């Protein structure tokens, strides 16, 4: 798929603009948005001024040393800018791909929603909310809207990347159409639902642009922590200068610590690693959502996905395959299975639903009943309606009408008893038995006889039980939502392995369930595509609307799944958790690697003032100037080496919080402690070999 291709991190197409953006981001107003790196930025300016002073013969230290420190501080700032620019570049590349789908087309505007109404050819950009447009085969849909008449096959590959066409028709939950897609066959009349600049594609582009991403609450909290640490170390560093001067004056020996060394010390003390990569991690999280063909309206939604406690999932199409299939015939007493199959097939000949076709096929397979021509039989098909909840056929022979009906047990019982007949208890028992097995029972009647029950089986998706087990290990509760009765819902829930279920769910029930979980302090995620899902989507913390769904659902959600795959909710949670895990891992590493830098730079900074500190020089670095340079260089380079991890993310594993914490401390805590000792020592050895120590 076009949006799921994972771009390489360091292609020329991405790196060249990122390098330019890294320098462009050196403006003070941009640097101030990242307090930690702003301190490094100010330190770079200060050491640059000291370098100029040193070359004029008034330096506090050798000009070459101050220049080297200044350059590596600038590199530190540029590397942090580069990481953010590279992450934004990937998002901008995705946005450019979406912009390619935007085009101003000629639209057939109608005065009224009638195909025979007068047509006026206008530019698509001139259409306004409420306008009616006729879109015929091979026409590009000019704007977002709702189908009000007709049905058509639509190519949405420009938006979703999927080549398979979809059906869009008036009414129901599949009436929304998106500007930039193309009608392949038939025709539709659509009502425009947005004004120019407000289209879904416009919003998608704005969402994908990483530069417009707002910080999430978790990111803001972490920034506050980093700022607090920076202020503490800044105050501690500032007080070292008077202490050093006092010590030298009191002892009459040694030299006071220089401003250059203090700046280098401060930069190595503050958490520059995570400070430089924090923004890139957030942008990359949005980008990974886009690679999964999910548009998140904000980083807040991505972050919330990582903290979800409860997942509400539709049964049909999410937990089950969605199309129920006829699996067995259960005849009533005194009726043979062949008689039931014959009546069931006759009632389904004109039923083009997957369920209806499966009944015809099952009767043919089990009893060799060929498909009859309903027109040749002089039959009148009775379509299913939400009011009657049954369908069937009327067959006329010699002036006598034979009425065959199939439908839900409640609808058939009401219809049957209204004619003065009693409903057999044996059939009721069969219905209950089928429902307890997790299947859907349909009852068939032929005039004054109850023929029996058809079992429609909803197949649970392969591997879904294992996915739910993974979520359970992560501490996430899964709740299945279905309109089925409690018996059917309980059977499917047990087979799928969900933790709980809500049967016979209404929009009010869904809303009530979400609010009850939120009242307990839990974050709730759900998915939906219909207008009746909109209230619950608006209430949920993570609300994934299907792109194939109604405009109301898409507006209520804070994410849109372009693939319209209800199981994507599980993947979204995993991406959210991966972003949080990446941020936590790099924060742990950043704080841990500061410890090694203390042992490198503090003994070197005060070697002449406090000779006793030489005992802390565990790495046996060549000289004080080499120790300071090695720590500053390592501090800059480590940001570069961690950019791929920040953008790709820490590998996701479905583990509990305590196990993840132990792994985090072992790998990134211990690793962050050991790697700087090795890195700083290697840099010191290189400087010594090059005669720069």
Separation CA 475–CA 492 (nearest Å)? 22
384 is in an annotated binding site: yes
Which among 435, 436, 397, 388 is positioned nearest to 415, based on CA atoms? 388
324 is in an annotated binding site: no
Sequence-ordered list of residues with C-beta below 8 angstroms from that of 631, at least 6 positions apart, any chain: 264, 268, 597, 600, 601, 604, 680
Cβ neighbours for 265, distance < 8 A, ≥ 6 positions apart = 237, 240, 601, 602, 605, 628
Backbone angles phi, psi at 350, to 5 degrees: -100, 10
Please list, in sequence order, all residues whose beta carbon lies within 8 angstroms of the beta carbon of residue 178, skipping any fewer than 6 positions away.
141, 144, 156, 159, 199, 200, 201, 547
Smallest Cα–Cα separation from 378: which of 357, 400, 356, 359? Answer: 400
In angstroms, the CA 324 to CA 317 distance is: 10
DSSP H helices, 54-156, are: 63-99
Q: Is 623 annotated as a binding residue?
A: no
Is 582 annotated in some ligand binding site?
no
Q: Which of 314, 342, 484, 541 is catalytic?
A: 314
Q: How far apart are CA 259 and CA 628, in angstroms?
A: 13
Q: Would the annotation count 213 as a binding residue?
A: no
| CA–CA distance, 586 with 575 (Å, rounded to integer) | 17
User: Is 61 assigned a ligand-binding role in the annotation?
Assistant: no
Q: How many CA atoms lie within 13 A of 122 on its CB side?
A: 18
202 labelled as ligand-binding? Answer: no
H or E segment and range at residue 645:
helix 624-648
Q: Is 389 annotated as a binding residue?
A: yes
* Residue 391 is assigned to a ligand binding site: yes
Known catalytic residue at 104: no
Q: Is 495 annotated to bind ligand? A: no
Q: Give me the sheet containing 310-314, strands edge to edge.
A: 294-296, 559-561, 542-546, 524-528, 310-314, 477-481, 500-502
- Determine which helix (DSSP H) or strand (DSSP E) holds 692, and give its type and residue range: none
Is 355 annotated as a binding-site member? Answer: yes
One-letter-per-residue 3-state SS of 48-68: HHHHHHHHHHHCCCCHHHHHH
Residue 545 and residue 204: Cα distance in Å, rounded? Answer: 13
Query: Using CA atoms, how far apart are residues 525 and 571, in angstroms rounded to an integer?
Result: 12
d(CA 165, CA 185): 10
- DSSP of 590-614: HHHHHHHHHHHHHHHHTTTT-GGGG
Q: Please give the Cα distance from 505 to 400 (Å, whole number).
A: 42
Q: Which residue has the tokens 């129920």?
A: 324
- Residues with active-site annotation: 314
Provide the annotated binding site: 351, 355, 384-391, 406, 529, 533
Provide the annotated binding site for ATP: 351, 355, 384-391, 406
Provide the annotated binding site for Mg(2+): 529, 533
């Amino acid at each position: 798929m076009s949006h799921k291709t994972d771009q390489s991190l360091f292609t020329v197409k991405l790196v060249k603009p990122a390098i330019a953006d890294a320098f462009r981001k050196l403006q003070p107003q941009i640097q101030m948005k990242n307090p930690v790196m702003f301190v490094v930025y100010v330190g770079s300016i200060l050491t640059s001024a000291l370098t100029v002073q040193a070359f004029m013969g008034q330096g506090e230290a050798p000009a070459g040393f101050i220049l080297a420190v200044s350059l590596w501080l600038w590199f530190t700032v540029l590397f942090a800018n580069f990481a953010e620019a590279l992450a934004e570049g990937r998002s901008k590349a995705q946005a450019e791909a979406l912009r390619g789908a935007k085009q101003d087309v000629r639209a057939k505007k109608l005065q009224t929603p009638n195909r025979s109404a007068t047509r006026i050819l206008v530019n698509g950009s001139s259409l306004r909310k409420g306008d009616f447009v006729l879109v015929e085969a091979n026409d590009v849909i000019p704007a977002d809207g709702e189908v009000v008449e007709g049905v058509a096959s639509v190519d949405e590959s420009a938006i979703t990347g999927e080549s398979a066409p979809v059906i869009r028709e008036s009414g129901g939950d599949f009436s929304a159409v998106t500007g930039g897609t193309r009608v392949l066959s038939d025709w539709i009349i659509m009502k425009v639902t947005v004004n120019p600049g407000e289209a879904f594609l416009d919003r998608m582009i704005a969402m994908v642009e990483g530069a417009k991403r707002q910080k999430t609450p978790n990111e803001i909290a972490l920034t506050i922590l980093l700022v607090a640490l920076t202020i503490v170390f800044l105050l501690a560093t500032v007080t070292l200068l008077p202490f050093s001067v006092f010590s030298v004056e009191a002892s009459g020996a040694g030299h006071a610590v220089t401003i250059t060394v203090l700046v280098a010390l401060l930069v190595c003390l503050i958490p520059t690693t995570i400070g430089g990569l924090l923004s890139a991690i957030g942008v990359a999280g949005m980008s990974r959502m886009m690679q999964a063909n999910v548009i998140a309206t904000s980083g807040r939604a991505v972050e919330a996905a990582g903290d979800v406690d409860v997942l509400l999932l539709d049964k049909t199409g999410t937990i089950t395959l969605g199309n129920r299939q006829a699996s067995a015939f259960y005849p009533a007493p005194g009726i043979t299975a062949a008689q039931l199959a014959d009546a069931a097939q006759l009632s389904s000949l004109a039923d083009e639903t997957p369920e209806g076709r499966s009944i015809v096929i099952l009767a043919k397979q089990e009893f060799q009943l060929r498909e009859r021509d309903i027109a040749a039989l002089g039959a009148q098909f009775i379509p299913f309606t939400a009011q009657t909840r049954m369908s069937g056929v009327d067959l006329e022979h010699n002036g006598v009408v034979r009425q065959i009906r199939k439908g839900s047990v409640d609808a058939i019982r009401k219809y049957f008893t209204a004619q003065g007949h009693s409903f057999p208890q044996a059939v009721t028992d069969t219905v209950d038995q089928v429902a307890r097995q997790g299947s859907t029972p349909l009852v068939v009647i032929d005039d004054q006889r109850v023929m029996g029950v058809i079992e429609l089986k909803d197949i649970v998706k392969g591997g879904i039980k294992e996915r739910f087990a993974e979520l359970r290990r992560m501490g996430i509760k899964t709740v299945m939502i279905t309109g089925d009765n409690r018996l059917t819902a309980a059977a499917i829930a047990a087979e799928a392995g969900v933790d709980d279920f809500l049967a016979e769910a209404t929009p009010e029930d869904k809303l009530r369930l979400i609010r009850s979980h939120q009242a307990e302090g839990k974050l709730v995620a759900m998915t939906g595509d219909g207008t009746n899902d909109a209230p619950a989507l608006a209430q949920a913390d993570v609300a994934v609307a299907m792109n194939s769904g109604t405009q109301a659902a898409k507006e209520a959600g804070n994410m849109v799944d372009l693939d319209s795959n209800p199981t994507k909710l599980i993947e979204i949670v995993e991406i959210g958790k991966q972003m949080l895990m990446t941020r936590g891992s790099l924060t742990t590493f950043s704080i841990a690697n500061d410890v090694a830098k203390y042992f490198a730079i503090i003994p070197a900074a005060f070697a002449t003032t406090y000779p006793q500190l030489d005992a802390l020089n565990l790495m046996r670095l060549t000289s004080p100037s080499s120790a300071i340079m090695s720590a500053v260089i390592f501090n800059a380079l480590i940001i570069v080496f961690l950019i791929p991890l920040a953008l790709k993310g820490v590998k996701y594993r479905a583990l509990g919080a305590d196990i993840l914490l132990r792994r985090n401390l072992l790998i990134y805590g211990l690793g962050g402690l050991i790697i700087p000792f090795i890195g700083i020592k290697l840099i010191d050895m290189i400087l010594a070999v090059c005669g720069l120590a």
